[in-house]
Structure 1
């Protein structure tokens, strides 16, 4: 077996993770310390990302800069890619080379797919975004990516190899009707409490899915409210660990931990998600019961019930003759005289 095969086998798994680092890039350039990718500055100011608006059937031209920050020349594979939200935290990430593209990744045309950048120099590459006639209106986020195809083997202590990539985000908006729509789906609650009330903390983990069902990018906010029996408010909270941008069609699975959840109550939990021009809610409930105590009480009641039932079914013993309350038979007497027969 070639020594490169173990590295190559891991590349499809690791490359999307590395491309996800685009989410933490500086505001003015996607940068990993060795090279950066960013739009050509306009006459007014530097652009943090590409913001492109086009109607179906229209083409838009722009330029991307690839900067080499190292002491030696670097060669990159250039390609356009569609963006998506990562399942882990909803961060902005782009598809890896070879995946199926439907938006920017399919519509952006680069004059060449490889570029060599001298040490401490930059290279500017023009590109064209050709929007199809049948393109759906709304947002189509993506990126122009510079991929270093060399395999970084690290320190060689493990059979692991990675490729690094940096991309400049492209926010493409296709003209036409827009529909902001947000859904809260699959709300689940996992509740844990001590066996004996008061002897430990009670926690609940609330998991849910945010789904952008519209065609525009949203900045969601989620409010959590929990009510107990008789409408008592148990918790109100604005959730923080949310994606800064939820892209069209994307789903993100999120969780929220509730420390100090009730130990004896019926709790109704409502999640309300809002974004610009859209609002949606979903609910779920759980019963907080000290099951050990309930089990002991039920078992005790069952035992007491069986003992009482046995006592009622026990047969009574025979009573002594002449005992109080028993009826004695009346004595019989014969009044027939001697020499007479009964009936004379």
Structure 2
């Protein structure tokens, strides 16, 4: 099972919606139910201003304190410490709802770098293994709420730095979505993010790896549009969460600037030791050019760059050049043989 949670991070937003949309278990049947494929996905599209992760039917959020609401669990501790807190689950429907509560580690999805959490049956290695709730299951009355104590026991050998995760409230019911030959069931969940920092040395480190440029263009120059797709890996090699920025610059012959832009399709936050493969489209890329494409990634106290060569030559031009070269070589060989006969 894959829990996928993508969207708003502190100080930055990649989705306009304030909701938590959540994934699905699929049951396939061909007239008679033969087998089932079960999977669950958790996708956070954003968080309301009040701070609650919400899917319209229920919400999950840190318990309110005397100082007001908290958008997420922001915690810090020394190795070996024990933290206590509380999580609230609120039912917004007219029916009682029962939820399974659990903690999970977070990671970045490979496809777009979204904030995701491990499935309950996956091995948890960080805050997902350290955090427990007093109850594994809770039933919340209509339009009511339940607050449950949370305990986080940090191991003595916990690594310094950030340990992100979430407290998840999962509705284990599978709602049928289709009564036809292929039935799809939806299982919903909502999670409140945990941002836990273990005190100690921090090391921000960001790199850009494996830059590649793929170019497509018309056979005859000027008869169509050309484009290039630039792909690269953005890697957080440190132990703290980063909010990266990536700048793209392409230069042609003699240092001419062909393209310069700040990229937008990047993760709002890149978690420690996570990497994502990203792409950027370059519309109208030159059809005849030789140069370099450089990507520069920066975040707090770290900056790295990497480059790849860019070479554009239309097939028709290449064919003409090949014919000219072949013809020239043929004439040179013929002239050389003629000189030998004369001698």
Partner of 1:29: 52
Q: Distance in 2 between matches of 1:22 and 1:305?
A: 64
Q: Is the 8 A contact 2:178 2:184 kept in 1?
A: no
Q: Is the 8 A contact 1:10 1:161 kept in 2?
A: no
Q: Distance in 2 between matches of 1:150 and 1:246?
A: 33
Q: Give the C-alpha shift of residue 312 in structure 1.
A: 8.0
**Equivalent residue in structure 1 for 2:81, among 51, 58, 67:** 58
**Equivalent residue in structure 2 for 1:180, among 181, 204, 212:** 204
Q: Distance in 2 between matches of 1:41 and 1:4?
A: 46
Q: Does 1:75 pair with 2:98?
A: yes
**Pair 312,171 (structure 1): closer, same or farther in 2 beyond 3 Å:** closer
Q: How large is the Cα RMSD of the aligned pairs?
A: 2.1
Partner of 2:279: 255
Aligned residue for 1:160, secondary structure, equals: strand
Q: Distance in 1 between matches of 2:243 and 2:335?
A: 70
Q: Give the C-alpha shift of residue 303 in structure 1.
A: 4.7
Aligned residue for 2:188, secondary structure, equals: strand
Bigger radius of gyration: 1
Q: Distance in 1 between matches of 2:165 and 2:110?
A: 17
Partner of 2:326: 302
Aligned residue for 1:126, secondary structure, equals: strand
- The gaps in structure 2 that reach 5 residues or longer are 1-27, 339-343
Q: Give the C-alpha shift of residue 306 in structure 1.
A: 4.1
Q: Distance in 1 between matches of 2:73 and 2:197?
A: 11
Q: Does 1:270 pair with 2:315?
A: no
Aligned residue for 1:161, secondary structure, equals: strand
Q: Distance in 1 between matches of 2:164 and 2:131?
A: 12
TM-score by length of 1: 0.84
Q: Distance in 1 between matches of 2:242 and 2:160?
A: 15
Aligned residue for 1:254, secondary structure, equals: strand
TM-score by length of 2: 0.85
Give the 4+ runs in structure 1 shifted more than 3 A: 1-7, 303-314
**Equivalent residue in structure 1 for 2:148, among 111, 125, 141:** 125
Q: Distance in 1 between matches of 2:215 and 2:240?
A: 35
Partner of 1:284: 308
Q: Distance in 2 between matches of 1:76 and 1:303?
A: 78
Aligned residue for 1:230, secondary structure, equals: helix
Higher strand share: 2
- The gaps in structure 1 that reach 5 residues or longer are 315-344
Q: Distance in 1 between matches of 2:268 and 2:332?
A: 65
Q: Is the 8 A contact 1:203 1:261 kept in 2?
A: yes
Judge which range, 130-139 or 105-114, deviates more: 105-114
Q: Distance in 2 between matches of 1:230 and 1:58?
A: 59
Q: Distance in 2 between matches of 1:92 and 1:5?
A: 35
Partner of 1:156: 179
Q: Give the C-alpha shift of residue 26 in structure 1.
A: 2.5
Q: How many pairs were matched up?
A: 308
Q: Is the 8 A contact 1:23 1:92 kept in 2?
A: no
Q: Give the C-alpha shift of residue 291 in structure 1.
A: 2.2
Partner of 1:10: 38
Q: Distance in 1 between matches of 2:332 and 2:197?
A: 78
Q: Is the 8 A contact 1:23 1:93 kept in 2?
A: no
